[in-house]
Each structure stands twice: as C-alpha cells, then as structure tokens.
Amino acid sequence: MNILYGVVGEGMGHATRSKVIISHLLSSGHHVKVLVSGRAHAYLKRFFPDVEEITGLRLIYEENAVKRGRSFRNFLKELPLWGGWAENFDIMTRVHENFRADCVISDFESLAYLYGQRYEVPVISIDNIQVINRCAIEVDIPAEERVNFSLARGAVKAKLPGCHHYLITTFYYPPVRKERTTLYPPILRGEILAAKARTTIGEHVLVYQTSDSFAELVPTLRKMHEHFVVYGLGRDEELGNVTLKSFSELGFIDDLASARAVIAGGGFSLISESIYLGKPILSVPVKKQFEQLLNALYVEHLGYGACARDLAADDIRGFLERVPDHAARVATHVQDGNREIFAAIDRLLRELAS
C-alpha cells in the first residue's frame, strides 16, 4: 500500500514518534512518502529515503510562554508573497501524479490531510492532541484556563475533521465521546524501550527546559540542595549543584533512566517516556499551550507527579518531598511497548485494503 505520511514540524516529539510508526510500516512492506516541516524534516531525512519538506508554523517562546503574535508574524515572513502556500499545493499535486497514495496518515499535519480530502483518500489520524476534542476531560480545568480550553478544543476540532479513524496515544484514558476514536498507550522510540532494562534510581533530578530564554531556571535550581542535570540551555557547565549539558540523545536517555525524578514542561513525549521508565514528574507546562497544561493536570491527577504553573523554589521543594509517593504511583503504570498501536494500525490498513 502507498501511504502518505504527514508530520507536523513544531516540536520534535511528533518526529520521533512518527519515526517509530514509519519504520513499522516500511518493515510491513508498505511504501511511505513523508511530508514534514521545520526541524523535523532534517531529522526524518536521516532515516528515510522519501521525505519532502513543506512549509509549516514555527512557535516562538519567551520566558516559558508561547508568543502567539510573534510566531504568526514570523510564519508570514517565511512565506514571501505566500509562496510557501503555493509550493505546498504544488507538492500535493506532484505527490498525486507520482505517488498516488492509497491511504494518508497524519500526525496533526494539514497538507497530507488536505491531500486525502482532495483526492478522496482515507485519512488515519495518529496523535495525542485529538484527546482534547474527542474525549471527555475528567480533570478540573482552572477557571482562568477555560477560555483557552474552549479555543484549543475548537482548533483541534477544525484541524483534521472527518478522518476515517482517530488513533489517540495517551498515558491517561478519559471516556471517548466521539465515534471512530480509540485510545492507545504512547508511542515509544526504541532507545527508550531499551533503557527500561537499565533503569535505576540515582541521586540527580533531570531537568529539561525547551525555552533558552527562561532566565530564572538556573538561579532557582541553585537555591536547592539536590543535584540537578539540566538539558536544553545549549551548553556544558558546572554551577555548583547544577550541571548543564548540551543535548546528546544517548546521554539524555542515560540521565533519564538513572534519574531520581524529572522536572520538565508539559510536552507529551518526555512525560510519556518518564512514566514508562517509572520517574516521578514535576510538569511546568508552557503558558498558552493548553495541551501541555492538560498533560500536567493528568500527571497530578494520576499521582505520577505534580503540576506547577511557574518553576518556583517552593514548588520544587514540595515535589521532591513527595517523590517516594509519586514513584509508588507511577510504578503501577503498565505498557507493553508499542504492540497495541502497531496492531491497531495493521488492522485498519487491512480493512482499507480489502
């Protein structure tokens, strides 16, 4: 089967999860063409022969918050005379002429989805974000976030409407409220599956910060007595109890597998990997990203860790005092690798081929 696979380029989690699914599809004998934007293009190009770059939106962060206006203005600047849009639709036409997809799979990516709509090709959605629209949220949404919740639900609903089926990956399981929707454990890259066997409980706390403009991070951590290993600030440096490390995939996974606990944003991938490896999490979601807030609220709801709106010293101390209790809760999480999501994809593709 010819499969057109669309990957949204904002956030590398989409790319790393899609790599797992694309590898499975290729090993099953399917032909896969990938459409992807942003940094994810260079990443996926390293592993697969047929990867085409498209134009997408890149978010801009400042002080642990998304700058929506600047992100949109930057997007427009990268589309001189709207050439990016025109090129995207030229790509769609070229794909139809040369590839003729039998099925589209979209990880929250619009162009591949529009291909499916235009040429009447069934679309399968695989991502974690559709949970906002297609499930009944059971955690209490703070009053000040209810407008953002409504906006997020509307945006997600409008993103990929009318798909053949929605496969939602999740570490929590709210009631499904819409048809053609099923829930599965998170997609895990092979390096994390392998790290399970060498997981230990060390002394350090792993900190991952995606916004290098969050100036208060290191001064806040230096007020603590614990040892923190910090990734995301782009440099190697020893600052007393804080060790800064530039990014290394294998080094990061080793530090994650041996961490006592994890402090991170609300990104789905790292939260899912931390849970799989049995690590308590203090989640500090990026402001103005409701999906990250929802992940953090469910981490707290399940007892796997805590949700904090700002990375304050008192929040860190309170979390670290409760790490043993959170560790006991997260240890109850069970996941058999990627077996369930692979089986669901294979079943859907067999049904479409018959």
Helix (H) or strand (E) holding 27: helix 12-27
Give the tens place of pLDDT for each residue, 101-159: 999 999 999 999 999 999 999 999 999 999 999 999 999 999 999 999 999 999 999 99
**CATH 3.40.50.2000 domain residues, the chain:** 2-187+337-353, 191-330
Lowest-confidence region among 28-32, 71-75, 93-97, 330-334: 71-75
Q: Provide the token pair at 57.
A: 């939106």
CATH number, domain 2-187+337-353: 3.40.50.2000
In this structure, the number of other CB atoms found within 10 A of the CB of residue 94 comes to: 11
Whether pLDDT at 82 is above 60: no
For the chain, what percent of residues have pLDDT higher than 90? 78
pLDDT at 12: 83
Whether pLDDT at 284 is above 60: yes
The residue with greater pLDDT, 182 or 209, is 182
Phi, psi at residue 89, to the nearest 5°?
-75, -25
Q: Please list the alpha-helical segments (H only) found in 196-263.
A: 217-221, 249-257
Q: Band of the pLDDT at 237, cuts 50, 70, 90?
A: very high
Domain formed by 191-330, architecture:
3-Layer(aba) Sandwich (3.40)
Residue type at 185? Answer: P
- CA proximity to 185, closest of 168, 199, 202: 168
Whether pLDDT at 76 is above 50: no
Mean pLDDT for 48-64 is 67
Please state, in angstroms and rounded to a whole number, the distance separating the CA atoms of residues 345 and 331. 28
pLDDT at 140: 95
Q: Whole-model pTM?
A: 0.89
Please state, in angstroms and rounded to a whole number, the distance separating the CA atoms of residues 341 and 15. 16
Q: Provide the token pair at 249.
A: 């995939």
Do residues 128 and 170 make contact, with C-beta atoms less than 8 angstroms apart?
yes
Please state, in angstroms and rounded to a whole number, the distance separating the CA atoms of residues 185 and 128. 10
pLDDT at 167: 98
The residue with greater pLDDT, 117 or 60, is 117
In this structure, the number of other CB atoms found within 10 A of the CB of residue 177 comes to: 11
pLDDT at 79: 43
pLDDT at 161: 96
